[in-house]
Amino acid sequence: MNQQNATKEIISCSLKHLTSEKAIDKISITDIMDQTDYRRQTFYDHFDDKYDLITWIFSHEVSELIQSIMNWEKWEEALFLLLEYLEANKKYYKKIFSNIKLDSFKDYLMYYIKRSIQTISDDYFQAHLVADNNQLFIKATTDFYAYGLSEMLYCWVLEDCEPDSKSYHEVLVQVIHHKC
C-alpha cells in the first residue's frame, strides 16, 4: 500500500470510529483529524470534504473486495461479497443512508452499482456475441438491474440488513435467475 492510501485509510478509520459516537452532521474535519497524527491540512490534501471521504471509503473498500472478480462467471460471488461488506458495516452505512444531506451518496451507490453491472454485462454480452444493434436491449437490461439492485441494497441496509447477507444473497440470485 502506498503512503497516500495509508494516510487516507487512517483518516477513514477515524471517521468510521466517530460515526459510532456522533451523528455525521456533528462530525467536523477537526474531530476527524484529532484522532490521527496528522494536521487538519492533511485532510484537504486528500479529500475535498467529509462527503468526499465517505464516497472514497465505499469505493476503496468495495473495490478491494470485488474488483478482481467483476466478470460474468463470478457475479454471484461479487454480489455476496458486497452484501457481506454492507452487513459488516451496517451501522456506519445506516447512518450514511439515513442522513438527508448525503442523498448524493445514494446517487454514488447507484452509479457504482451501475458501473459494476455494466462491466459484468459487457463481459456476458461479449461472451454470448450479442450484436451491436441490440444496444438498446443491453442498456435497458443494465439500467434495470442497476437501479433495482441499488435501491434494494439501500433499503436492505436501512432495515438493518434483514434477512442476513447469506439469505438475502440467495433471494437476489433467485430473482436474477427468474426462479421465483
pLDDT per residue over 92-107, tens digit each? 999 999 887 777 899 9
Are residues 84 and 41 part of one domain? no
| Rounded alpha-carbon distances, angstroms, from residue 118 to 9, 21, 46, 161 | 28, 37, 28, 25
Are residues 100 and 84 part of one domain? yes
Are residues 85 and 117 part of one domain? yes
pLDDT in the model for residue 152: 96
pLDDT in the model for residue 1: 61
Are residues 87 and 15 part of one domain? no
Provide the domain limits for residue 62: 50-176
Percent above pLDDT 70 for the chain? 95
Decide: 28 and 11 in contact? Cβ < 8 Å: no
CATH code of the domain in which 19 resides: 1.10.10
Are residues 92 and 20 part of one domain? no
Are residues 63 and 43 part of one domain? no
Decide: 135 and 125 in contact? Cβ < 8 Å: no
Are residues 133 and 97 part of one domain? yes
pTM of this structure: 0.90
pLDDT in the model for residue 94: 94
Percent above pLDDT 90 for the chain? 69
In the chain, how many domains are there? 2
